[in-house]
Chain A
């Protein structure tokens, strides 16, 4: 888990989770970081609780995160502008 987490910024991002391209099950996510590592656009990060969140609005909606997540905690929905 990265040490430099801007809590305020994370919370602001989470306020608008509705428009994120993915749905994240925060119960299932154990912060293994596989999706953070393999996302082709590199838009995912872990928050202060070690759970994944969408840091950058640059998703290509490929769904690699969903394909790779070992706990099925992340699911592609599509970015709001495309839905």
Chain B
């Protein structure tokens, strides 16, 4: 066992984590800042190969934070919003663009030197394209320049908590198997969402839209530590290129591309935000086809250039090659591929305030793990920065406290038990079974009976299967620990879905036994926390707060 002491511990070195580390050091360079990174910080998280646009930018003189808040509420959140957080995001978005520019990211400008803007929502332009393929190496460089301690290939397993305050985290070095206890004055969760949730129809467990190293680690650790979480009834669920499970881009949507159903009828509605259309397609098990062949060659060339230079250009280029696809003659097939939990494009996360503080003292959260629904990459950057600043200021006011070593020893025993067993269940086989239960019983359309069946399975997995996992090496041990994170997320998703007795977001939460939106009873957040006495999951609600 290795014990470390640090001022600010950041769990996850992706977009939000890097911004948090940089911001904490910029508050006071003498602070000791540590990052636990599951992969390697140069290429990690959902931003591993960069990003082709900053999706939410409110440029002064062009749009206002109020306009953005109104649009995100109308198209994405449907009344379940914390306006203060979204306002803050919008307010700080342009300064964030400028900061990225200073670090060497190039944003697209028109002939008059104005930033190019694309639609984020119908008729609402907040997207600024950028040449961001090297974004992650650049962030890693800024982190290194500030002398942050980065522990690569290190995965957090639990937060050290007394259900009131967090004192750091335990972790494991996935290459050596060393158990690490990191005592921190302030701890920031930046672990991303839960990408490994439903199984994509290809049957490939790691073919997910978001980075599959994100297994709901932060959601589960925050829950077990006593924090309040929200939005688990909302699933990230949308049309993706079949099997590839990544979008081709968005900037070419305005260039006359057509969308057809299987009968060849053109779909005119917005395929991201038109709830009735999406529900109809889902219920009819319709596939959607993207058609380009009617467009002139000049436009096709432009579209190809956009598609083959997007943030996931390599997989897209190879997919077109393997499937022998040519947009001049072929239709691109789209389907509802996989459900997952995410605070960036979805609406799931650890509840935070405008200082990125969670409900536990000393614990902060930012990025896909935090409850700022639909915050996208800009949110990860802005709240990463806020979390870094708040945590640094907090760390300066307190000392490392004594901790409960009984908990640490118990955690060490739990973490290593799959390695110590001689026989057991292979973690990948357990993960398949767990995720097929998630797929079958949590995917909309769902109902009370299905959700209760999910809970029956979850209970059985918790009491039997997870105590029989057998890992053969440190890598597989990491995957075994992750399955328990996924399992906790499944329980939170099932219980939250049972609580919300309405359908608010169409395909994202469709309840066939409550198919209508019910503003009279459900303009509320559905919240979750653990009962420290019994270990039971408590589900409760709070009314939506409007900005005053």
Contacts and interface: CB of A to CB of B under 8 A. Distances in A.
Interface in A44-83: 55-64, 66-68, 76-79, 81-83
A77 B208 CA distance: 17
A68 B45 CA distance: 16
B153 A40 contact: no
B419 to A, nearest CB: 15
Contacts of B204: 79, 81-82
B45 A78 contact: no
B202 A60 contact: no
Nearest to B476: A56
A59 B206 contact: yes
B477 interface: no
A83 B322 contact: yes
Contacts of B314: 61-63, 66-67, 76
- Which of A40, A76, A78 has the largest count of B CB atoms less than 10 A from its CB? A40
A1 interface: no
A52 B442 CA distance: 39
Contacts of A78: 315, 318-319, 322
A81 B199 CA distance: 13
A70 B409 CA distance: 43
A37 interface: yes
Interface string B30-45: 0000000011101111
Interface in B318-361: 318-319, 322-323
A64 B49 contact: yes
Interface size class of B (residues with CB under 8 A): 20 to 34
A69 to B, nearest CB: 12
A5 interface: no
A62 B206 contact: no
Contacts, number: 90
A41 interface: yes
Given A63-B315, A76-B315, A78-B315, A41 B207 contact: no
Q: Is the interface of B mostly helix, strand, loop or mixed?
A: loop
Given A76-B314, A82-B207, A40 B202 contact: no
B399 to A, nearest CB: 36
B206 A60 contact: yes
Contact of A38 (B38, B43, B211, B479): B43
Contact of B40 (A38, A56, A66): A38
A39 interface: yes
A18 interface: no
Interface residues of A, number: 26
Contacts of A81: 202-204, 207
Given A42-B475, A67-B314, A79 B322 contact: no
A63 B174 CA distance: 22
Contacts of A42: 38-39, 153, 174, 475
Contact of A58 (B42, B49, B206, B243): B206
B312 interface: yes
A40 B319 CA distance: 20
B475 A60 contact: no
A65 to B, nearest CB: 9
A41 B318 contact: no
B213 interface: yes
B363 interface: no
Contacts of A56: 475
16 contacts: A38-B39, A39-B39, A39-B43, A42-B174, A58-B212, A60-B211, A61-B207, A62-B43, A63-B49, A67-B43, A67-B314, A76-B318, A77-B318, A77-B322, A81-B203, A81-B204
